């Protein structure tokens, strides 16, 4: 059976990994591993690095064949502060690492300004919505899209792009 490790206990991330392998005989374990970047990554580069580190650290800290890293961050642009999300899938046997990026929306200025002042999005979203644990539920993307796209949906899309690239590569090698 294919063993897959997800480098986070965050339910929105773990759910996305479960979604993409639904109905398949796989074993999915979750481990809280280091991302090696700031808790609040501030560029695509840093967010990608966090995703890759999580995927690789998951492999180091388990005997899984596939490591998955999902990481959220923000990107400063002239239009404002965008949410960005990246995923990485690392294959133990081949050392291949696949990368895919998620949907983006602008954060409202009130939220963006607090991040620019050094706060982390998770706690800011909880205060903004007067609720607890938004980052583990619909996420900022869910709140600001009227829940048409939740954090798990967004990470599921990334997961499909990761697994699809992995399958394509395997198909090419046959």
Ligand X SMILES: O=P(O)(O)OP(=O)(O)OP(=O)(O)OC[C@H]1O[C@@H](n2cnc3c(O)ncnc32)[C@H](O)[C@@H]1O
Q: Which residues are annotated as a binding site for Mg(2+)?
A: 63
Question: Is residue 17 part of the contact set for ligand X (CB under 6 A)?
Answer: no
Q: Which of 112, 134, 149, 161 binds ligand X (CB under 6 A)?
A: 134
Q: Give the x/- contact pattern for ligand X in 41-80, rule: CB under 6 A.
A: ------------------------------xxx-------
Q: Which of 135, 149, 152, 163 binds ligand X (CB under 6 A)?
A: 135
Tokens 């961050």 locate to 73
| Residues that constitute the known binding site | 63-64
Strand partners, 106: 82
Instruction: For the chain, state the CA radius of gyration.
Output: 16
Provide the token pair at 74: 């923000």
Residues in the chain: 174
Q: CA 142 to CA 120: how far, in whole Å?
A: 17
Q: Which of 141, 159, 161, 163 binds ligand X (CB under 6 A)?
A: 141
Cα dihedral sign, 76-69-50-128: positive
Residues in contact with ligand X by the rule CB under 6 A: 8, 10, 13, 39-40, 71-73, 120-122, 125, 134-135, 139-141, 151
């Amino acid at each position: 059976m294919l063993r897959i490790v997800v480098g986070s206990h965050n339910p929105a991330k773990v759910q996305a990994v479960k979604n993409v392998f639904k109905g398949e005989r796989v074993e999915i374990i979750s481990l809280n591993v280091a991302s090696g970047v700031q808790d609040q990554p501030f560029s695509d580069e840093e967010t990608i690095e966090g995703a890759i580190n999580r995927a690789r650290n998951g492999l180091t800290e388990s005997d899984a064949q596939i490591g998955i890293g999902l990481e959220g961050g923000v990107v400063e642009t002239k239009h404002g502060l965008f949410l960005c999300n990246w995923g990485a899938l690392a294959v133990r046997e081949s050392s291949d690492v696949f990368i895919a990026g998620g949907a983006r929306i602008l954060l409202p200025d009130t939220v963006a300004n607090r991040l620019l002042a050094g706060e982390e999005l998770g706690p800011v979203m909880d205060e903004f919505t007067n609720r607890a644990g938004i980052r583990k539920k619909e996420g900022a993307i869910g709140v600001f899209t009227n829940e048409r796209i939740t954090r798990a949906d967004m990470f599921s899309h990334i997961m499909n792009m990761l697994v699809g690239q992995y399958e394509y590569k395997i198909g090419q090698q046959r």
